[in-house]
Amino acid sequence: MRKYSTQEDIELLVKKQRDFFRTGKTLDVAWRKIQLKKLKNAILEHKQEIEEALFVDLGRTAVESYLCDIGTTVLEINEYIHGVKKWAKAEHHFSGILCFPSVSTKVYKMPYGVSLIISPFNFPILLSLGVLAASISGGNTAVIKTSSKSAESTKIIKKIIQSVFDENFVSVVDGGHDIADACLETRFDKIFYTGSPNVAIHVLEKAAKNLTSCALELGGQNGNWCIVRKDADLKDAARKIAFLKILNAGQVCININQVAVAKEIAEEFLQFIKAEFVRQIGENACNNEEYPKLISDVAYQKCEEDVLKYKERVVFGGTGNKKLRKFSPTVIYPVNIDEEIVQKELFCPILPITIFEDQKIDELIRTIEEREHGLALYVFTSNTKWAKKIMSSMQFGGGCINEVVMHLMVKGVPFNGTGHSGMGAYHGEWGFREFTYPKTVLIGRNRFNLSLREHPYSGKKAKLKLKILKFLEK
């Protein structure tokens, strides 16, 4: 696979892919399924190399790599393989009496054309090859712009793509912000970006010049909330919250950014969460080989600086190993709901805890709603009726009641954000829909045509036409 280092290189690549798209080969659903199977098999064949790359980039064990990237991507591809034939079928609609005699209309599911997939570092396989599967299922070609931060993962992604696809169909572009901008200056037909809201604004600005359709999967400006009410199963809540905060060292877009705990049980919850961190990862997480690392020195420094600002309120953790780029899960308590640390996305293993009076839960909800919409919301309570009401009325991407993160694993449902946490949706059929657009075609007939639509619109005929039209519109 050649190196794409200039905008001219990328423009030439896009031209080649657009020429290939216009051959109509990708419109064949059977052909798409073959490509998806090739992608799946290549991932499984290179499983060990992927694990090694993820260990170098993020310090992940083989189990965590399979759980978060490899196995999840394979499951995603399987869903496209099994469902694309059904999803791609044209819909048949009755045109209505008003259109008589042309009573047959079809809605075709059309690919956009050449897609650009800009993937992040935190789940470099899932958020590049998993999104690629959605693009392929929709009948598009694709250019994947990988993150420069996860260099080893980029190498194996390139190897996988090169082993199964011609670059005129799928290609990988790596490099820094200059290459990303070169991609964004080039006209694509669909852009799928996963990352931060600030960069997403830049992506939209560039896409607007070509009126390119965009899907954005973002972490959220203010981070994701978790609410623990006084009637919650505290041990269960602590166990699940600790697991999610440890996962990928907190570098997860649907991670818990901060926990709001009912004042009545706050001290008890603190003891449970401390105990769970110790049980799951040990007294000093930085000494545990299974504990992942932060992606870069800059990420480590940001995490360390945030902890130092609140060092007097660190009740657990607070230590790191700069050389290994590991920072222990760190609980900061108590934190006021208006403080800086709970008004930004942390993307690291820091866990601020705010407190609220359980009887004033509505005030907490109002405060959360006044801020930018999160990608996820998690609530722990035995009052399922209340939880369902909150989940059905608040605006956020998705979430769980008495559970964390697992909504991501459910087949047949969308994964998405809203507002500052994103736009568009994918996974399974929703991914197919994201990479296609509906095209309506009425099939006309040349016999028994009605003259209702034609002039004259005055005189006796006009009155009759109007009566008939009003009748047909009922």
Other CB atoms within a 10 A radius of the CB of residue 145 amount to: 24
Task: Say whether 304 is catalytic.
Answer: no
- Helix pair angle (234-246, 266-281), 10° resolution: 50
d(CA 285, CA 419): 35
Local structure of residue 68 (DSSP, 8 states): I
H helix count then E strand count, the chain: 16, 20
Torsion of CA 268, 271, 277, 282, to 10 degrees: -160
Residue at token pair 């954000």:
417
d(CA 10, CA 185): 10
For residue 236, give the H/E element and its range. helix 234-246
Task: Say whether 253 is catalytic.
Answer: yes
Q: Which of 76, 217, 304, 372 is catalytic?
A: 217
Are residues 224 and 372 in contact, defined by beta-carbon separation less than 8 angstroms? no
For residue 105, give the H/E element and its range. strand 104-111
Phi, psi of 444 (to 5 degrees): -80, 160
d(CA 358, CA 335): 17
Q: Which of 68, 183, 214, 253 is catalytic?
A: 253
Q: Give me the DSSP letters along 99-153.
A: GTT--EEEEEEEE-SEEEEE--SSSTTIIIIIHHHHHHHTT-EEEEE--TT-HHH
- Helix pair angle (47-58, 29-45), 10° resolution: 70
d(CA 118, CA 173): 10
Rounded to a whole number, what is the distance in angstroms from the first to the last CA of the chain?
A: 61
Q: Which residues contact 360 (CB under 8 A, 6 or more apart)?
A: none
Give the helix ranges, DSSP H, for 91-147.
131-137
Exposure of 279 by Cβ count < 10 A (0-12 exposed, 13-18 middle, 19+ buried)? Answer: exposed
Active site residues: 217, 253
